[in-house]
Amino acid sequence: MSTTEWPLWEVFVRSRRGLSHVHAGSLHAPDGEMALRNARDLYTRRQEGVSIWVVRSEDLWASTPDERDSFFDPAIDKIYRHPTFYDVPEGVEHL
Amino acid sequence: MNPHADYVLGLADDALITAQRMGWWISRSPQLEEDVAMANLGLDQLGQARALLTHAGALEGEGRTEDDLAYFRDERDFRNVHLVEREQDDFGVAMARLLLWSAYQTELYAALKQSADETLAAIAAKAVKEVAYHLDHASHWVERLGDGTEESHVRMQAALESEWPYLAELFDGDWVDPALVEQGIAVDPRMLEHPTLATLSRVIESATLTVPEVGPAVGGGRRGLHTEQMGYLLAEMQHLTRSHPGATW
């Protein structure tokens, strides 16, 4: 093992056209180009993807469990935000 | 073996022995991520070797399978070049060799895509995409190590110097029957030298390294004359199948 640890990267893979990139995992790499290549070797070796994004883990800002109440609970009783009051025409599959 | 089968067997053995050497890196790479990368590259080479060995066996016409050819031939019957068979327990050397090897294979398979041997052309068409990635992987490492620290620069240059003498054997045309080249089945190895060297110069210069000026090694792999390390490699690769013939998972 090397003595200096490479930075950590988060990997996002789009499985096929039309879908979004989804978080696949993380890995170590010295820079972005190598991170892309490592991601290709680690996360797309069974044809899982058609596109890869990598981003330095330290550049991601994440919500914390402590903030759960203030972030997410206020949405619980706002049922009018869900489009459940519309009549859906027959035969519409992807709504 | 007839010249056609012998030619395909040479290409097959190159890929097979490369795969075996790449596999050594699994669990020994500088990083876990590189372990997987080396395994992938090795498996690509193994896939090429299997297709080529099967084809060589069919061309020979004596019923030998890919396993017969891989596991039940002795050292003198292997046709691979010396570049791929020697030990590589230094990561810089491994990347230098992969650079030389993949630059050559990229030109080889690109040319073989037009082979009059349709099976060989199909194998080459699939493999050319794989080795393009191998070249990309090696280039990125050689550039980072060459243009890295003072220490990595010195070691990467030394690695290139250690592999360079074995490059010449790749372009030795003597082992290929001229009739095969005339019929459009084989590629004249000499035609691959110029484009391969152009690729190598470009990568080496962008890595702030110097193209080595060292003479060629003796060679002889195409005639079954191998280095001392070949015997050890074959012993490890073949012992299981030979100890337990016909064993399956």
* Model-level ipTM above the cut of 0.90: no
Q: Minimal Cα distance from B145: which residue of A?
A: A30
Looking at chain A, the whole-number percentage of residues with pLDDT higher than 70 is 95
Q: Which of A92, A29, A4 is nearest to B37 (CA)?
A: A29
Helix axes B32-60, B3-23, angle to 10 degrees: 160
CB atoms A34 and B140 under 8 Å: yes
| Residue A2 scores a pLDDT above 60 | no
Among A4, A5, A38, the strongest candidate for a mutation testing the B interface, having the largest count of B CBs within 10 A, is A38
| Residue A65 scores a pLDDT above 90 | no
Residues of A in contact with B37 (CB under 8 A): 37-38, 41
For residues B175 and B160, give the distance between their C-alpha atoms in angstroms, rounded to a whole number: 26
pLDDT tier at A3, thresholds 50, 70, 90 = low
CB B190 within 8 A of CB B173: yes
Q: Beta partners for A54?
A: A11
Cα–Cα distances (Å) from B229 to A83, B8, B69, B85, B96, in that order, read 71, 23, 20, 7, 19
pLDDT tier at A68, thresholds 50, 70, 90 = confident
Residues of B with CB under 8 A from a CB of A: 30-34, 36-37, 40, 136-137, 140, 144
Among A34, A40, A47, A48, the strongest candidate for a mutation testing the B interface, having the largest count of B CBs within 10 A, is A34
CB B14 within 8 A of CB B46: no
- Kindly list the averaged pLDDT for each block of 10 residues, start to end, along chain B of length 249: 95 98 94 92 97 98 96 97 96 98 98 98 97 96 96 98 98 95 97 98 98 95 96 97 88
**From the CA of B243, how many Å to the nearest CA of chain A?**
33
Q: b vs e for B48-86, b when ≥16 Cβ sit within 10 Å of the residue's Cβ?
A: bbbbbbbbbbebbeeebebeebbbebeeeebbbbbbbbb
CB atoms A2 and B144 under 8 Å: no
Residues of A in contact with B140 (CB under 8 A): 33-34, 37
The radius of gyration computed from the CA coordinates of chain B, to the nearest angstrom, equals 18
Architecture of the CATH domain B3-209+219-243:
Up-down Bundle (1.20)
User: What are the pLDDT digits (tens) for B41-67?
Assistant: 999 999 999 999 999 999 999 999 999
The radius of gyration computed from the CA coordinates of chain A, to the nearest angstrom, equals 19
Measure CA B164 to chain center. Answer: 14
Among B29, B31, B34, the strongest candidate for a mutation testing the A interface, having the largest count of A CBs within 10 A, is B31
Q: Which of B249, B93, B81 is nearest to B168 (CA)?
A: B81
Q: Which residues contact A94 (CB under 8 A, 6 or more apart)?
A: none
pLDDT tier at A95, thresholds 50, 70, 90 = low
Domain ranges of chain B: 3-209+219-243
Residues of A in contact with B30 (CB under 8 A): 1-2
Q: Minimal Cα distance from A42: which residue of B?
A: B36
Full-model pTM: 0.88
User: Which pair of structure tokens corresponds to residue B103?
Assistant: 């630059």
pLDDT tier at A1, thresholds 50, 70, 90 = very low
User: Which pair of structure tokens corresponds to residue A91?
Assistant: 């035969």
Domains of chain A: 8-81 (3.10.20.520)
Q: Is A13 helix (H, G, I), strand (E, B) or coil?
A: strand
Q: Which residues contact A8 (CB under 8 A, 6 or more apart)?
A: A26, A27, A28, A56, A57, A58
In terms of DSSP H, where are the helices of B24-79? 32-60, 66-71
H or E segment to which residue A8 belongs = strand A8-14
Q: Which residues contact B123 (CB under 8 A, 6 or more apart)?
A: B48, B51, B52, B55, B112
